[in-house]
Chains A and B, each alone.
Chain A
């Protein structure tokens, strides 16, 4: 394991655990006040989850930066190649699906959303975003593995 990588994992785990604990406390507070009728529960949940995911994303970026600094340059190059070629490749595949979905004929296709069978516009937007991210992640993984195997094999 690269030098400094352990502390990145440790601090990430501590940060995540602290955030989850914070959400539990916030949920308990919201539950208490909404039971008394002094708080709009739905609105409070949206704000708490909004704050939670913003903190998760900021923390992920910080952890990602620390992790990139902790690995050596060849490992970093592997991830750069994977990010560019794999991510772009995945986006290209997703781009085809995206363009096809804009055709009026696509309106007749009944696509299930990935969010508990919901069929509202937000669920479809989230499904599309998840789909694009999944394709990019697949591309990333394939290119990273190819880069690593072709250069770092013994």
Chain B
């Protein structure tokens, strides 16, 4: 699964730690999400969508 997390984070000038705090996960988890090595659960995907104010389908793609 691909995602635009890194781009969206960069647009907001957030560090990985900032995003991790907003999502309530560790910085390593954010790194794993951005590099596509870990796919989030549906609740976490919804949380990511909420934090960035975008629909899930505009952040994640197959």
Contact = CB atoms under 8 A, between A and B. Distances in A.
Interface range on chain A (Cβ under 8 Å from partner): 10 to 19
Contacts, number: 31
Overall SS of chain A's interface: helix
A75 to B, nearest CB: 7
Interface string A114-154: 00000000000000000000000000000000000011101
A42 interface: no
A136 to B, nearest CB: 25
B28 interface: yes
Contacts of A151: 32, 37-38
A81 to B, nearest CB: 11
Interface of B: 24-26, 28-29, 31-32, 37-38, 40-41, 44
